[in-house]
Amino acid sequence: MLSAQNQGGTMETSNPSTETSISPEQGPGEAPRREFLTKVMAVSLGTAVSVGPLVVGSYVALDPLRKKSVGATPFLPVTSLEALPPDGLPHLFRVVSTLTDAWTRYPKIPIGAIYLRRTKENPEKVEAIHPTCPHLGCFVNARGDGTFHCPCHDSDFQTDGSIRNPQSPSPRGLDRLETRIEDGKVLVQFMNFEPGVKEPKPIL
């Protein structure tokens, strides 16, 4: 960037005293004009040097938001396996993550929510279902029988997230996420998906 070059001293500039001297070929109006141009250049460079760090600072300050949706998505610990009852019903958990920028670490920032479920028959396996309706992005509610309902336009989903009522406007079932169990903790590869499209498309 321009400012970085200036601060680092890598930009080549002419010596102002040499530039403003009058050669025998120059006319009488040339010296004031040169002087004026030199001053304009000095003001422009000074402005670039002072604005440069602000621009860089803004870019870095916005960096956590940028990083949130770019690159490989890690598995995040969501809860302990013990805290998830093996009753076959979806239970809602908050997803938190730690964001960092060049200067600061922001621990435990809420970044979303997730429905988790496990069964008595297979208690070591955890299913994760995104609570956002793939139609237009409303939050879906879990019913007492484990099925899901979207209050916005009545999309209706099975316990596994597939579409239950074919009249549902949602173009696909609820999005499912990868899970892992590590040291008694449930980890989820959390990400968001584009609404309104037939195939799940992660937002990157």
Residues forming contacts to ligand FES in the complex (CB under 6 A) are 133, 135-136, 138, 150, 152-153, 155, 169-170
Please say which residue, 26 or 141, places its beta carbon nearer to ligand FES.
Answer: 141
> Strand 148-149's sheet: what is its strand order?
141-142, 148-149, 156-157
Distance in Å, CB of 57 to ligand FES, minimum: 38
Question: Long-range contacts for 2-11 (Cβ within 8 Å, ≥24 apart)?
Answer: 2/48, 2/52, 3/48, 3/49, 3/51, 3/52, 3/53, 3/55, 3/56, 4/52, 4/56, 6/45, 6/48, 6/49, 6/52, 7/49, 7/52
Q: For residue 110, list its beta bridge partners.
A: 96
Distance in Å, CB of 122 to ligand FES, minimum: 30
Distance in Å, CB of 128 to ligand FES, minimum: 19
Please say which residue, 58 or 162, places its beta carbon nearer to ligand FES.
Answer: 162
Distance CA 149, CA 99 (A): 32
- The residue among 184, 180, 191 whose CA lies nearest residue 126 is 180
Q: For residue 185, list its beta bridge partners.
A: 80, 182
Distance in Å, CB of 136 to ligand FES, minimum: 4
Please say which residue, 22 or 203, places its beta carbon nearer to ligand FES.
Answer: 203
Please say which residue, 95 or 131, places its beta carbon nearer to ligand FES.
Answer: 131
Please say which residue, 79 or 155, places its beta carbon nearer to ligand FES.
Answer: 155
Distance in Å, CB of 144 to ligand FES, minimum: 20
